[in-house]
Amino acid sequence: MSRSGSDPIVAYYSGGPDAGGRMLLFYGLRWSDDRVEIDPQHFPARARVWLHPGNHNHLRLTRIMESVATLGLRAEARALQRCLLEDVAEAAGAGRISVRTIGFWRRAIDGV
């Protein structure tokens, strides 16, 4: 899946003045090509806000993945899921996300 600069999905996740971009920026993430990834410029500061056990933003991220998938953007929801599970939970945030939350993230898109 290749997305162009005029694609509404790219616009949604690109960090522009829309909700998707603001959401990713809040978490220190960014949309790059066909994937969501850690934004090395913003992640360290933003992670201090949300990346600790029991933070309410973990549930919010679960809801975001579910909602994006429900709205027909399943690939984009999977991109966020992959980033959270592989880049954050298993790497940059290892030990700061509960096993329970990781389970919720793994199942977030299953029923959608």
Predicted local confidence at residue 3, as pLDDT: 44
Q: How confident is the model at residue 8 (pLDDT cuts 50, 70, 90)?
A: low
Domain count, the chain: 1
Residue 2 lies in a domain: no
Predicted local confidence at residue 4, as pLDDT: 46
Dihedral sign (CA 46, 83, 29, 12): negative
Strands 35-38, 29-32: parallel, antiparallel or unpaired by DSSP?
antiparallel
Q: How confident is the model at residue 99 (pLDDT cuts 50, 70, 90)?
A: very high
Outline where 4-92 has alpha helix (H).
8-13, 19-27, 43-50, 56-70, 74-82
Residue 78 lies in a domain: yes
Predicted local confidence at residue 34, as pLDDT: 85
Residue 68 lies in a domain: yes
**Which residue segment(s) compose the domain that 64 sits in?**
8-107
Residue 18 lies in a domain: yes
Partners of 36 in beta bridges: 31
Residue 83 lies in a domain: yes
Burial class (CB in 10 A: 0-12, 13-18, 19+), 27: buried
* CA atoms of 67 and 52, how far apart (whole Å): 23
* CA atoms of 11 and 44, how far apart (whole Å): 24
Residue 1 lies in a domain: no
Per-position DSSP letters for 11-34, written without gaps between them = HHHTTSSSHHHHHHHHHTEEEETT
Predicted local confidence at residue 1, as pLDDT: 33
